[in-house]
């Protein structure tokens, strides 16, 4: 089995969310885990599928010039202005896709922490109470990611500050894992070297050989249609 490593792309919030979802729903090789790192065209925030738009807007400055989109996964508000963002899809039937949400969260973040530690970063996995179930609303107070670490988030082992968090979505196609590393929470990092080490650690965890893979061809108009859906007020403001 191969872990498909897709090329880095830069896009707006709606397009990034649409691509992540299509990599779960429509990937040609349904049996292959797939991974991508991506960047943002400008300042952007995303927020969890079940979060209330009024709460999100209340947490963000009204005059903040940023791209805003609801994610297909759960979790809180994520500021993407200075982060390293990635998505991992684990296909249906893989042992980790069938594991409990806390276990898949632990395994992916253990691989991430291993890669950062190999580059000299003092990181570890957070121990404590469990995060909310997939898709569940968070309490009104701690709805902004990186303000508080949850179980198996990656934290700075010296200060306890949150370094990396993620959100998950499972459906009949598999598991979508969307994650973010706050660059301000770590020291100087060679991010290209980190990406290679993270992919290697994920490959070991998934028992899959990392393989650079070109972008799949989606059905004509499918991506464009989903970008339009993710850009629409009906998606962003549905709750």
Instruction: Round to whole Å and give the CA distance between 180 and 86.
Output: 6
The reply to whether 145 belongs to the active site is yes
Catalytic one among 145, 154, 155, 176?
A: 145
Instruction: Report phi then psi at 183, rounded to 5.
Output: -65, -30
Burial of 16: CB neighbours in 10 Å, binned 0-12, 13-18, 19+: buried
Distance CA 21, CA 16 (A): 9
Give the integer Cα–Cα distance in Å for 96 and 111.
Answer: 13
Report strand pairing: 34-40 vs 2-5.
Answer: parallel
Total length of the chain: 239
DSSP code of residue 51: S
The neighbour count for residue 116, using CB atoms within 10 Å, is: 24
* Residues noted as catalytic: 145
């Amino acid at each position: 089995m191969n872990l498909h490593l897709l090329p880095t792309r830069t896009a707006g919030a709606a397009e990034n969310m649409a691509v992540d979802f299509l990599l779960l729903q429509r990937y040609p090789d349904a049996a292959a885990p797939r991974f991508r790192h991506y960047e943002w065209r400008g300042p952007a925030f995303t927020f969890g599928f079940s979060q209330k738009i009024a709460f999100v807007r209340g947490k963000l400055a009204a005059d903040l010039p940023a791209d805003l989109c609801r994610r297909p996964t759960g979790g809180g508000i994520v500021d993407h202005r200075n982060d390293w963002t990635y998505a991992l899809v684990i296909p249906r039937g893989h042992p980790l896709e069938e594991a409990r949400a806390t276990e898949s969260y632990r395994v992916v973040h253990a691989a991430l922490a291993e890669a950062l530690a190999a580059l000299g970063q003092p990181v570890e996995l957070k121990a404590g109470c469990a995060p909310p179930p997939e898709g569940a609303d968070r309490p009104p107070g701690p709805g902004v990611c990186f303000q508080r670490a949850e179980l198996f988030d990656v934290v700075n082992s010296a200060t306890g500050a949150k370094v990396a968090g993620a959100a998950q979505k499972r459906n009949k196609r598999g598991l979508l894992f969307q994650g973010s590393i706050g660059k301000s929470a770590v020291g100087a990092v060679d991010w290209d070297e980190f990406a290679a080490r993270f992919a290697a650690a994920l490959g070991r965890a998934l028992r899959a050989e990392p393989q650079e893979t070109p972008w799949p061809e989606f059905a004509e108009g499918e991506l464009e249609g989903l970008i339009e859906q993710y850009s629409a007020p009906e998606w962003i403001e549905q709750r």
